[in-house]
Chains A and B, each alone.
Chain A
Amino acid sequence: MSFDKPAIVAEGLGKSYWVGGHKLIDSMGMHALVDRALTSPGRVVTRLIGQKKPTSHYPEIPGHMKWALRNVSFSLEWGEVLGIVGHNGAGKSVLLKLLSRITRPTEGHAILRGRVGSMLEAGTSFHGELTGRENIQLSGAILGMRRSEINRRMDEIIEFSQVEEYIDTPVKRYSTGMVLRLGFSVAAHLDTDIMLIDEVLAVGDQQFKRRCIDKMRSVAKSGKTVLFVSHDMDVLKDISDRAILIREGSLVMKGSPEDVVEEHLKNAGRS
């Protein structure tokens, strides 16, 4: 495969949820189908063979459509670092979840060329009963590392996490900080072509947090293609080549990190 095509192309990405009176219902899911089948079986058949578009096919179900993200388009060249700026709940995490295929978009599409690694949340695949070492193997495999790759980088991961002393102790005996540090270490040692990074992953005390940010910086400068979500505007300006601003689910600005951060801060009071 050649490098003349962009590493990431997103076109019109959107994700909607059906917000019901008291529960979140996926407008296209089985639940809606079963509800429908109980009230009016005839239309379920037409629904099944028809186009699956989450429009208001179910007016009987109370609630409304909520777009968590809509009409987001951008492209990213090889080795570029894109910073994503926005308030809490603006849709940044949804965008990362779509690109890492945790959930699928309602509309639009995206292509990612190369192996994709996510540094989104630390230690989520950990199991309390397993030791630190066992959890590194588990977590590494789930994040997409090969077994040989994990074993090769085991010492590096343990060293970075600073939990050497307890590495063969069940994780349930760890402090919260230790779990997060170990979780970050595993994610930080992923070696993929494209990295999706959420800065909230930088955790722990000031000193470890600094090392996390440094690690993210070195990942970003290593020639990988990176999507970087951050609330730390100085880090973001330092790391990113370009930036986009997301506000209430829409992409409102693309530009240099400096310009985008400035625009974002102008609205900081509104959050």
Chain B
Amino acid sequence: MTNSDEERARIVTIKGSTVEVRGLSSYRMGEITYVGEEKLIGEIIEIERNLATVQVYEPLEGLKINDPIYLTGKSISAELGPGLLSNIFDGIQRPLEQIKKTSSSSFIQKGIHINALNRDKKWLFEPNKKLTKGHLVKGGDVLGSVQETQTIKCNIIAPPKTNGELLSIQEKGEFQITDPIVELKGSDKSKKELTLMHEWPVRIARPFLKKIPVHEPLITGQRIIDMFFPIAKGGTAAIPGGFGTGKTILQHQLSKWSDADIVVYIGCGERGNEMTDVLREFPKLVDPHTQNPLMNRTLLIANVSNMPVAAREASIYMGITMAEFYRDQGFNVLLTADSTSRWAEALREIAGQLEEMPVEEGYPAYLGARLADFYERAGQVVTLGSPYREGSINITAAVSPPGGDFSEPVTANTKRFVKTFWGLDSNLANRKHFPSINWLYSYSGYINIIEEWALESGLEDWGRYRQEMFTILQKDDELQHIAELIGSKALPADEQLIILVADIIKEGFLQQNAYDKIDSFCPLEKQMKMMKLMLLFNNRAEILIKNGCPISLIIGLKSVQILKRMKEDVPNDNIVQMNKMEDYIHTEMEELGSKYGYRV
């Protein structure tokens, strides 16, 4: 890159969110360029002879033909280091709080250049005691640590491609993020300095030593997920649903209550007010696993729907790269993306501007490949470097199918790459059954793994309870079809009982109120106990029915109401009260039996 290059280079076409540039002499795909006098940020996405197409992450109004263009020699990269957590960024990692302060405006103006990480702040660095002069330092090695937030101690790791002999390392002390903390001598005798931060090109997955099989569940505190369609740490899940089916609230619930160490929340084409809601609410919420404010472990990317479309395309890569950075430190990371359909639509919009041949519904042919690349960046890994660390990334991604039609290209392609599918059902949502995950067509590919885990973790009954409940729900579905034709009154008593118990399960177990103080998060222990009580009720009632007890007596039992309401009525840690309820159900059923002379 020389000045003369830039003088010759000029914009020849301006269209949509892209410009075409002629006259650059040395450039490469993916290179970041500054466009026009305002230096708008852009990226080279197509090269044809001496014509380069640049997608621009800011509005193009005001640009003109022959405006200058500046190459940077860099690919679009994320800044990685302490200071990311508790922060909110736009799609190209500009901190929104800083944009507000710098521009002193409530609106986002063009041409603002701000570093993602604060350069002035000082961090207390504690060196890794094992590193001494002469030590060979490789990519991924832990150089030391910094207490990033109250909850999270951030490992300072050598960037992936590092390889050199340690010349010096700083003592414990306060450093700015760009201060050198380690000096290395490369194999070519050159000196290299490492700082608390480094950069990584976001479109390239960060390397790791190896992927290992997932082996434990991500506990979400959401009953239908934990018990019915669990996801493993390092696993992937899609949440498709039409508008109003509760995708965003479910994503918020996962981000709030999951037992991940770090949460990366990408609002991709989101409503502005919803991002504000997250910003307002998360700092007030307490992590049930650590008792610290949730914001301490969370970082947010807000690309609201009226921000430039190219930045929406980039936001997903920004998010996953930051997630990988924490994975490489040895954390379990949950990445929630809401919604990947908006990202796919951004691909479509840009492909349209490039006049690429569309395939299904105008989407480009590489839609599936891009989705695969993204989901494959999830997983459980052994990281590079020493000491030995394992880390994981979960991806839970919302999909917004047009008209709620799951056969459309984004949903269909996503299904190919995710192992868990939480299909949201607008019929359930319409009757305020939330989360509206449909239990008949959702699935989890991690059942076997989690069953093994449950056996080892003292939850031996998990698999059995799950199966029994599932069977009831499935029978109920068949019976509902019949009941729709002949009315449930005409069904035999044992089948009416199935409908009753399924109703208890749906209302008392599957529905979970995100706004209720108690019900919002349900610990595993309580979930198991709830299942146990419902199945106990079913079991006793079956015996009563077999012995001729009319169903109407069972429907009228107080136990039915207790089972439906215990999710909100019993505080989460009050096992004593749950045991009392168990006794009550026993007693009530026995009373019924003895009163009418039925054996229980």
A and B assemble together: no
- Chain A residues near B (Cβ < 8 Å): none
